[in-house]
Chain A
Amino acid sequence: MTEQKYKFLSTPRRPVEDRRFVAGRGKFIADLDRPNMLHVAPLASHHAAAVINGIDASAALAMPGVVDVITGAELAAAVQPLMNGLNTPNVRRFPLAVDRVRYAGEWVCAVVAESRALAEDALEKIIVDATPQPFILDAEAALLETSAPVHPEHGSNLLLDRKFVWGPVDDDFDAAAHSLSFSVTWGRNSTVPIETFGVLAEWNGWDQMLDIWASIQMPKYADQIARSLDLPGNAIRVHYDVDVGGSYGVKRGIKHSVLVGYVARKLGCPVRLIEDRLENMRAGDAHGPERKFDITIAFDQDGTVRSMKMRALDNAGAYAGRAPFQLGKPISAIVGPYQINSVAYHALSVTTNKTVQEAVRGFGQAPTNYAIETAMDRVAKYLGMDRLALRQKNLIRKDQFPYLIPSGSYYDSGDYHAVIDKVLAAADYPAMLAERDRLRDAGMMAGIGIAACLEPSGGNSSFEPLLNQSNQTSTWMESCQVNIDALGKLTARIHTTSSGQGHETLVSTVLGEVMQIDPELIRITRPNSLESLPGNSPVGSRMAIMLGGAAARAGEKLKAKIMAIAAHRLGVAIDQLRYEGGDVLAHDGRRFTWDEMVELAHRQYHNLPDGMDPGLASFDIMQVPTGDALPVDDKVQMYPCYSFEFHLLLVSFDPIIGRPDIHSYVIGHDCGTVINPAIVSGMTYGGIAHGIGAALFEEFAYDTNGQLLTQSFLDYLMPSSHEVPAIQIVKHCTPSPHTVFGQKGSGESGYLGAPAAVSAAINDAVSGLGIHFEKLPIRMSAISDAIAAKTS
């Protein structure tokens, strides 16, 4: 692909959304009030597992301002169980516990009152008669046949147990000179947005319409609520003009929305549920993957990695949620950026008595990347080989693209070696090594972390049919509509909420580029779900590719119409015309202006080509590029595009205190053509901050009674401006052949490699002591304890 010159794309432009946010004029869910609105507060279980014998809400109901108390039994009689995507009909989940609670914090019932404060007061008056039951927290233990199932009707704790063998694994192991095995664990953490989840529902019986406003990032949200409430799809109207205060995957909110939708319908009033922080941490859709990896890797004396066996055991928590599918996405990049010839993958997901796991940024890819990168470091150490040289040896080369990996996906494009070279130069790698040694000489523990990884992007959903053969999903489309009004101005419509990704900027920039019109002059609106075209929301690093693609294609359709009008008006063939900044120029110098064109299209039907519809509007519903087929032989093309990142950082800490200090952090990032540089950089910085949190601080930890220990921001520690260093981004651009401008995804950038890189740095620092940290997060206390144990 040749270098393209863009007028608006890839140029430093202010994101249009920022203006309202810096003024405090975002429209977040908690900012919305409706007349006579009621408020919901859920009652949380104190037990990790218990049978509910009875609920006495009479004292609560007698309190002034309390309108209703909804129990699980009432709700289950009125709504369908929430969907989970697996064939596990006996793992039933309702918004409120039915007969039995399965984790501490699970909602047992919900108070509806005239204010949230009154609802919370009433919670204290509800008496739940419950008999505690045995519970299980550990995923390996949950697998044992002797362990009580979290869902007795299901018969075991297994949600998913799939074995894949891609390529000649046994042969490759036989042929390899060496193999080694190790285990690593990704601790239960998440992206924890600063805004909790909230939803407001309002039923209008005269219209038979349920209006919903919510802080969501959830594909098929309206459909799922309609199914659960047994309402026609066109009786649910989700308003997409709600600003979402951060999500990074977790703002799913189905159970909240079904509960609130049910209450709104029952009472005929607007009803709102805004989680408080405690509800969010222990029972919101807050928890991400908790995953143990057992890896055996086969390699030669020269460092060539031939094959890998990976067992990934995921602790899904008490219900299925979307968690098991988070074992599926990593299949699309199961060998990372390396030429590994064959892979055996055993994906296991089990229920335990912990909070339900939900989708988190990267959808399981960050844990897997951590495991793969740890394997590369282990191999290097085993062979006494330089970690960087080992990677460079195994990386897919530029001339090998498109590159087919054993699990069936083609990587589209890349130049991994070039990115790494750029990073090493930018970081002055020899100086970094010297600084590490200087720090060590000064008595500090110092280490360098390296990680290379991929960001599968384009947000297809092929992991669903791959993990569940009865699922026939082969499209994950996205849409955009464009209109030119009678005064000649463009308005584009997008059909989703945003949580900071800058979709308005994306669409206006792309359309501006296609139409050659200043993006500042293009208006972006978000209609409600009934006025929307089909889409799948911003998941799987897809919107630059899919929404950007749909916007560009809708723009091209408009342009084609404009050219046809011009050709008719000027009496020349279209190929004799040139589109220029909105006007159309004929080869003979005549100019058909934008204003004339608008006038014709909107008012002068008699001057339009025969049979052409009046007006200037277009839309596009875009299929995911390359994502056309269902899996065959356990293989499928999963994502169209693969962004690459390479992390390099230097860490030091005092051996007694063990508090890591990141001295320098450089990331090389290639996500193809960048639409808005500031947005992409921001995603990458933010992703690295999340990754630092996952590596060093953040964990939803439980005590032996099944109680969540980290349920406030005092215990669940997130990186502040002190812990996130200045970060240098080194950019590289290998356009994707599959997208309109060569763009790839960047919404998960940084996060996919930072945990691996930070872990590698800490492990490098302690390697002289023979210490391996095999679990994230590697907290200060773990570091200082491990060193003390070795040195005392």
Chain B
Amino acid sequence: MNDVTLTINGKPVSGVTEPRVTLLDFLRDVAGLKGTHAGCEHGVCGACTVLIDGTAVRSCLMLAVQAEGEDITTIEGIGGSGARAGELGVIQDAFCETHGLQCGYCTPGMILAAEALLSVNTDPTEHEVREAISGNICRCTGYVQIVDAILLAAKRLGQRNDAVPSDATLA
């Protein structure tokens, strides 16, 4: 058993875990954060995506002990929590606006992949959006409304003070 201490969504978290436990299982079972999902557990689907220092990482491919000291963001760290639960972040809100999801299983990973993209590229092209989510498989949506959501979020983030646009991209 190993002690692991890391930062999750801005808060220090410590836990005791076997060396073989993945970061994914640590987040879910030790930290109790169920928003990070297991899809394949072999690094292909991206359902387990989290951010480490702002970079999208597959938490199923990393051991918890390897994440010692890292600064991790999960879907629970996006948008409001506690008393502010129910307040959506800009990207989350855009996913709701375009219906960039159906079953919601790939969605946390998609939103974190989008977060990683938009933190370094505030005005992506459609191609760049598709590239950024190409490691995240969605079986429900065919990606169209996800791409719409991320482009909408980029637009809104670029116009922070604007009122919410009314042009829902509902094709």
* Nearest opposing residue in chain B for A690, CB measure: B139
User: Which residues of the partner chain A approach B34 to less than 8 Å between Cβ atoms?
Assistant: 24, 28, 30-31
Residues of A within 8 A of B59 (CB): none
Q: Which residue of B lies closest to A687 (CB)?
A: B142
Which residue of chain B has the shortest Cβ distance to A30 in the bound complex?
B38
Tell me whether A562 is interfacial, beta carbon within 8 Å. no
Residues from chain A with a CB closer than 8 A to the CB of B105 are 26, 28, 193-195, 245-246
Would you call B96 and A718 a contact (CB within 8 A)? no
9-residue interface stretch from A333-341, A465-473, A498-506, A613-621: A498-506
A721 and B107 form a contact (CB under 8 A): no
Q: Which A residues are CB-close (under 8 A) to B88?
A: 19, 22-23
Instruction: Tell me the bound Cα distance from A750 to B141 in angstroms.
Output: 11
Across the interface, name the chain B residue whose C-beta is closest to A246: B103
In the complex, are the beta carbons of B40 and A685 less than 8 A apart?
Answer: no
Residues of A within 8 A of B26 (CB): none
Structural contact, B140 and A686, CB atoms closer than 8 A: yes
Candidates B96, B140, B171; contact of A729 at CB < 8 Å: B171
Instruction: Determine if B96 and A18 form an interchain contact, defined as CB atoms under 8 angstroms apart.
Output: yes
Interface centre among B33, B38, B93, B143, by most chain A C-beta atoms within 10 angstroms, is: B143
Interface membership of B54, Cβ < 8 A = no
Q: How far is the CA of A713 from the CA of B44 in the complex (A)?
A: 6
Q: Would you give the shortest CB distance from A247 to chain B, in whole angstroms?
A: 8
Q: In the complex the two chains form, what is the Cα distance from A728 to B41 in whole Å?
A: 34
Q: Report whether A195 and B39 are in contact in the complex, using a CB–CB cutoff of 8 Å.
A: yes
Known pairs A23-B79, A26-B105, A724-B144; A686 contacts B139 (CB<8 A)? yes
**Which of A28, A277, A724 has a CB less than 8 Å from the CB of B143?**
A724
Which residues of chain B have C-beta atoms less than 8 A from A721's C-beta?
Answer: 129-131, 133-134, 136, 143, 146-147
Q: Is A712 an interface residue (CB 8 A)?
A: yes
Residues of A521-578 at the interface with B, using a CB-CB cut-off of 8 Å, are: none
Q: How far is the CA of A337 from the CA of B28 in the complex (A)?
A: 49
- Report if A722-B35 is in contact (Cβ < 8 Å); known contacts: A23-B75, A686-B142, A712-B44: no
Q: How far is the CA of A21 from the CA of B75 in the complex (A)?
A: 10
- Residues 661 to 707 of chain A near chain B (Cβ within 8 Å): 677-679, 681-683, 685-690
Binary contact readout A18-47 vs B (1 if CB under 8 angstroms, 0 otherwise): 111111111010110000000000000000
Q: Does residue A14 face the partner (Cβ distance < 8 Å to B)?
A: yes
B interface footprint on A108-129 (CB within 8 Å = 1, 0 otherwise):
0000000001000000000000
Interface: A714 (CB within 8 A) = yes
Q: Are A28 and B37 in contact (CB under 8 A)?
A: yes
Residues of B within 8 A of A791 (CB): none
Say whether B140 contacts A246, CB under 8 Å.
yes
Q: Does A395 contact B (CB under 8 A)?
A: no
Residues of chain B with a CB closer than 8 A to A499's CB: 103
Q: Is B118 an interface residue (CB 8 A)?
A: no
- Is A520 engaged at the interface, CB distance under 8 Å to the other chain? no
What 1/0 mask marks residues of chain B from 28 to 60 whose CB sits below 8 Å from any chain A CB? 100001111111111011010000000000000
* Contact call A714/B42, Cβ cutoff below 8 A: yes
- Residues of chain B within 8 A (CB-CB) of A148 are none
> For the complex, would chain B's binding face be called helix, strand, loop or mixed by DSSP majority?
loop
Q: How far is the CB of B88 from chain A (nearest CB, A)?
A: 6
Within 8 A of B (CB), among A217-257: 243-248
Residues on B with beta carbons closer than 8 Å to the beta carbon of A193: 103, 105, 139
- Is the beta-carbon distance between A720 and B134 smaller than 8 angstroms? yes
**Is residue A414 contacting chain B, with contact meaning CB distance below 8 A?**
no
B93 contact set on A, CB distance < 8 A:
22
* Residues A18 and B99 in contact, CB atoms below 8 Å apart: yes
Given known A-B contacts A24-B108, A243-B104, A714-B44, A720 and B137 have beta carbons under 8 A apart? yes
Give bound CA distance, A727 to B145, whole Å: 10
Residue of B33, B39, B40, B95 with most partner-chain A CB within 10 A: B40
Q: Chain B residues with Cβ under 8 A from A247's Cβ? A: 103
Instruction: Report which of A14, A22, A248, A679 forms a contact with B107, defined as CB distance below 8 A.
Output: A22
Q: Known: A24-B35, A26-B105, A726-B144. Contact between A277 and B40, CB under 8 A?
A: yes
Partner of A20 from B36, B104, B141, B144 at Cβ < 8 Å: B104
Which residue in chain B gives the minimum CB-CB distance to A679? B99
Known A687-B142, A714-B42: A678·B99 in contact at CB below 8 Å: yes
Query: With A21-B107, A718-B139 in contact, is A685–B144 under 8 Å at CB?
Result: yes
Q: Are B111 and A22 in contact (CB under 8 A)?
A: yes
> Does B135 have its Cβ within 8 Å of any Cβ on chain A?
yes
Please, which residues of chain A bring their CB within 8 A of the CB of B131?
721-722
Most chain-B Cβ atoms within 10 A of its Cβ — which of A678, A713, A724? A678
Residues of chain A contacted by B137 (CB below 8 angstroms): 194, 713, 718, 720
Does B72 lie at the interface of the complex (its beta carbon under 8 Å from any beta carbon of A)? Answer: no
A21-B107, A243-B103, A245-B104 in contact; A727/B142 too (CB < 8 A)? yes
The contact string, 1 if C-beta is below 8 Å from chain A, for chain B 106-117, is 111001000000
Please tell me if A192 contacts chain B, counting CB pairs below 8 Å.
yes
Whether a CB of chain A sits under 8 angstroms from the CB of B11 is no
Contacts A15-B99, A17-B104 given; does A245 touch B142 at CB 8 Å: no
Return the contact of A688 from the options B20, B106, B142 (Cβ within 8 A). Answer: B142
Shortest Cβ distance from B35 into chain A, in angstroms? 2
CA distance A17 to B100 in the complex (A): 12
Indicate if the CB atoms of A24 and B74 lie closer than 8 Å. yes
Among B39, B85, B98, B171, max chain A CB count under 10 A is at: B171
A685 touches B79 (CB 8 A): no
Q: Contact flags (1/0) for B79-106 with A, using CB distance below 8 Å?
A: 1000001101000110111110111111
Which residues of A have CB within 8 Å of B102?
246, 500-502, 679, 682-683, 686
B71 at the interface (CB under 8 A from A): no
Q: Which of A12, A19, A21, A724 contacts B142 (CB 8 A)?
A: A724
A25, A246, A687, A714: the one contacting B35 at CB < 8 Å is A25
* Chain B residues near A245 (CB-CB < 8 A): 37, 103-105
In the complex the two chains form, what is the Cα distance from A681 to B136 in whole Å?
21
- 6 closest A-B pairs by CB: A24-B35, A21-B104, A500-B102, A245-B105, A500-B103, A24-B75
A to B CB contacts below 8 Å, 7 in the list? A21-B101, A23-B92, A24-B34, A28-B37, A194-B138, A246-B140, A685-B145
Chain A contacts to B: CB under 8 angstroms:
12, 14-15, 17-26, 28, 30-31, 117, 191-195, 243-248, 276-277, 499-502, 677-679, 681-683, 685-690, 712-714, 718, 720-722, 724, 726-729, 750
Identify 13 new A-B residue pairs, CB closer than 8 A, beyond the known A718-B139, A720-B137. A18-B99, A19-B88, A22-B95, A24-B36, A28-B34, A194-B37, A679-B102, A682-B99, A682-B140, A682-B142, A685-B144, A686-B139, A713-B44
